[in-house]
Chains A and B, each alone.
Chain A
Amino acid sequence: MLDSYLPILTLIIIAVGFSFGAAILSRLVGEKKPSTVKLAPYECGMPPVGSARERFSIKFYIIAMLFIVFDIEVVFMYPWAVMFKSLGLFGFIEMGVFILILLVGYAYVWKKGALEWE
């Protein structure tokens, strides 16, 4: 049974070998001419501005929390979808109740203004 995973193992070995090989090879034989621009941290080609350790807005935390809450919802829906036929009407109603509870929470969050950025 494990035989069927052999191609994946081969792929992993080739991928890891290629990336490490290329990195090591370029370090060994490559030419090095360091300059200030080359040594600067890479930021998508833009010139780096200031320190990375800035304080950021508390709004990000609320967004992150809401994301987790509504993301978990989907995690519950996948197994339900797989078992949809055997669970039948009961499962459908249960999932409806579950979504309804989250919907109430969503309405609360919306009304409280947690989704507004400004």
Chain B
Amino acid sequence: MSLSDLLAMLPILILAFGATAILMAGAWYREPLPLLAGGIVTALLGALSAGLVTPPVPEIAGLFSAGGYARFYTILWSLLAAAGLMTGSRYIIEKRIGAGEYVSLVLYAAAGMALLSSATHLVGLFIALETFTLAFYILIASNRNCALAAEAGLKYLLLGAVATGFMAFGIALIYAASGSLVLPDAVMRLKAETGELQAWGLLGWGMILIAVGFKISLAPFHLWTPDVYQGAPAPVTGLLATGSKGAVVAALVGLLAMSGPVWNDLTDLVWLLAALTMLAGAFGALGQSNLKRLLAYSSVTHMGTLLVGVLCQTSEGFAATTFYVVVYVVTSLGAFAVIASLADGRGEPMTFDQWRGLGYRHPVRCGVLVLLLLSLAGLPATAGFMAKFAVFHAALQSGYIGLLMIGILASVISFAFYLRVTMLLFQPDEKASSWHQGSVFEHTVLAVCSSAVLVLGLFPGLLFGLIRQILP
């Protein structure tokens, strides 16, 4: 590890050292606001350094890339951490959660996600995945007075451990078959192999696919999602739904874009996973009467759609997937931020009974929520429409007509439950009670998210141009 390696790693170092410094400061000094402000500044500095400092080497210690694609996601996850700290600020002050711990864990998670999105080595991939998963285990159960949060934390821990096991076994099998852990290299050698060794390699890819399935909740592995999303505090759920899934998808896209079509033998399996995930999410959401659980199923559907983009394995598919990740992160984060901003001493508004008629009490934030839900549904003129359109267009060009039909079917079904919430918000109800007014931080996040949804919906070319340049 030389000095230029360290300089290339600067954003990650800022996040990790900043997190450690804030953790230590929090042990001596318990005022939450300065710690939170320090965390937000650290996250923004991380994003700024990733954008401004040109890395002197293309690869850090052979483990992580320092290219444009990696930098792009480093900026995105750093900004996400800043937003997560902003939406969580009121929550940790009111629930008396250690500010030093919360801030540092969010920053560590951001560092882990940034590393994961830039991994070029299977060991780097594994370390990065564990870094942010460990942070999330604690964050989910951070509210120690809530039994649901403890349940959610335990569920995520157990399933995360299983996924880690699959991941490690898969990596071991790929190493056994190819003799290499460097990503493009291992894939090339596997393709050259025939017979038994190739079979071991395929089994390894299958195991990794299962681990990925757990992490981004693909259909047969998605059952933890609603319980964990419901139990975790809304600011943490916002991070969990966006960053932890987006980073895994980003790593997948980076890996496939670097090493060419790896998945030719797994195409049928991935096809099935994508179709099953889209339908399971859409049908699962129909029966929900709790907004957080509904958003959990909605995220399942979106992960299925993302997988369609990944499956295409064309540059257009990868560009569409990357665009979709950004749009999904912004929209979903905003939706959970609305829930977090309404939370008060009674907790967060969750059940549909609590949401009924809330549009008249809090018109601005409910209006933002409607906009975000319509973007998640994919209504034209919102960013969600452009993202879905791009992915389905890529699928059409790659000849996945069947999957395209299933995706459109799932979209139509999901319109039903998104519109149901929208109607619920503006039903006249005398009993609707007022919730918290929200802090400046939370309103800032909502303003940024909703304007990003509108801008990306009207001018998608801005982001698409950038993505085409940075794809590896």
Contacts and interface: CB of A to CB of B under 8 A. Distances in A.
A106 to B, nearest CB: 11
B55 to A, nearest CB: 22
Nearest to B23: A108
Q: Is the interface of A mostly helix, strand, loop or mixed?
A: helix
Contacts of A38: none
Contacts of B23: 108
B74 to A, nearest CB: 22
A104 B27 contact: no
Interface string A91-118: 0000000000000100110011000000
Q: Is the interface of B mostly helix, strand, loop or mixed?
A: helix
A64 B347 CA distance: 34
Interface residues of A, number: 5
Nearest to B28: A111
Nearest to A109: B27
B20 interface: yes
Contacts of A108: 23-24, 27
A111 B100 CA distance: 13
Contacts of B27: 107-108, 111-112
Interface in B1-51: 20, 23-24, 27-28
Contacts of B28: 111
Interface size range on B against A: under 10
A53 B253 CA distance: 53
Nearest to A107: B24
A104 B100 CA distance: 14
A104 B20 CA distance: 8
Nearest to A93: B1
Nearest to B20: A104
Contacts of A107: 24, 27
A112 B27 CA distance: 6
A107 B24 CA distance: 8
Contacts of A104: 20, 24
A3 B27 CA distance: 59
Interface in A28-77: none
A108 B28 CA distance: 9
Contacts of B20: 104
A50 to B, nearest CB: 30
A74 to B, nearest CB: 22
A17 B400 CA distance: 71
A112 B28 CA distance: 8
Contacts of A112: 27
A107 B25 CA distance: 11
A116 B440 CA distance: 40
A107 B20 CA distance: 12
A108 B23 CA distance: 8
Nearest to B21: A104
A108 B20 CA distance: 10
A111 B26 CA distance: 10
Nearest to A90: B1
A107 to B, nearest CB: 7
A111 B23 CA distance: 11
B177 to A, nearest CB: 28
B35 to A, nearest CB: 14
Contacts of B24: 104, 107-108
Highest count of chain B CB atoms <10 Å: which of A104, A107, A108, A112: A108
A104 B24 CA distance: 8
B16 to A, nearest CB: 10
Contacts of A111: 27-28
Nearest to A108: B27
A105 B28 CA distance: 14
A111 B28 CA distance: 7
A89 to B, nearest CB: 13
Nearest to A101: B20
Interface of A: 104, 107-108, 111-112
Given A104-B24, A108-B24, A111-B28, 7 more contacts: A104-B20, A107-B24, A107-B27, A108-B23, A108-B27, A111-B27, A112-B27
CB-CB nearest 8 A-B residue pairs: A111-B27, A108-B27, A112-B27, A108-B24, A104-B20, A111-B28, A108-B23, A104-B24
10 contacts: A104-B20, A104-B24, A107-B24, A107-B27, A108-B23, A108-B24, A108-B27, A111-B27, A111-B28, A112-B27
